[in-house]
């Protein structure tokens, strides 16, 4: 009988620890804007434009580029008494496997000021300019 009680207590302790680790591992992301630019028809006069309402707070740009993405991606955000503009530069990082001298690959990301703050809730206009490369695919997220 005592063995059963000890085993049940151990199982309960393991369950509690397991649930606490799972809870801490959850990463909550609040995506407030998303666009995948892979079609020239999404652009007017070479620029993608959209309007949406955003709350005040700190935000972060996240990108999903590849080697064919625009080399320079200009993003401008305009709102009531607010303006943000940045020329993001595509950077490729070469990775080589230690076991092989011939196997290598690139990962891609945009370099630039990715964090910005909106002072209060407002309607903003986002403009994304691929600087002539309307065929290069890239996804852009704004995360709070």
List, in order of start, the domains of the chain with CATH numbers.
Answer: 29-143 (2.60.120)
Q: pLDDT at residue 9 above 80?
A: no
How confident is the model at residue 5, as a pLDDT? 63
Q: Encode pLDDT of 10-63 as tens digits.
A: 454 544 455 455 444 455 679 999 999 999 999 999 999 999 999 999 999 999
How confident is the model at residue 101, as a pLDDT? 74
Burial of 75 (0-12, 13-18, 19+ CB in 10 A): buried
3-state helix/strand/coil string of 101-117: CCCEEEEEEEECCCEEE
Kindly give the residue spans of alpha helices, DSSP state H, lying in the chain.
2-25
pLDDT confidence bin for 7, thresholds 50/70/90: low
- In degrees and rounded to multiples of 5, residue 74 shows phi and psi of -95, 125
Do 76 and 87 meet the contact criterion of CB atoms below 8 Å apart? no
Q: Encode pLDDT of 76-133 as tens digits.
A: 999 998 999 999 999 999 998 877 777 888 999 999 999 999 999 999 999 999 999 9
Sorted by sequence, the CB contacts under 8 Å of residue 38 that are 6+ apart come out as 137, 138
């Amino acid at each position: 009988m005592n063995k059963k009680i000890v085993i049940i207590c151990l199982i309960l302790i393991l369950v509690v620890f397991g649930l606490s680790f799972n809870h801490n591992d959850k990463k909550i992301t609040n995506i407030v804007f998303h666009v995948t630019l892979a079609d020239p028809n999404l652009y007017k006069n070479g620029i993608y434009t959209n309007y949406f309402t955003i709350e005040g707070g700190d935000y972060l740009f996240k990108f999903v580029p590849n080697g064919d993405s625009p080399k320079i991606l200009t993003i401008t955000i305009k709102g009531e008494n607010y303006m943000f503009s940045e020329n993001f530069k595509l950077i490729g990082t070469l990775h080589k496997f230690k076991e092989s001298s011939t196997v290598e690959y690139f990962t891609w990301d945009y370099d630039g000021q990715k964090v910005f703050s909106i002072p209060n809730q407002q309607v903003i206009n986002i403009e994304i300019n691929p600087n002539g490369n309307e065929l290069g695919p890239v996804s852009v997220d704004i995360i709070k």
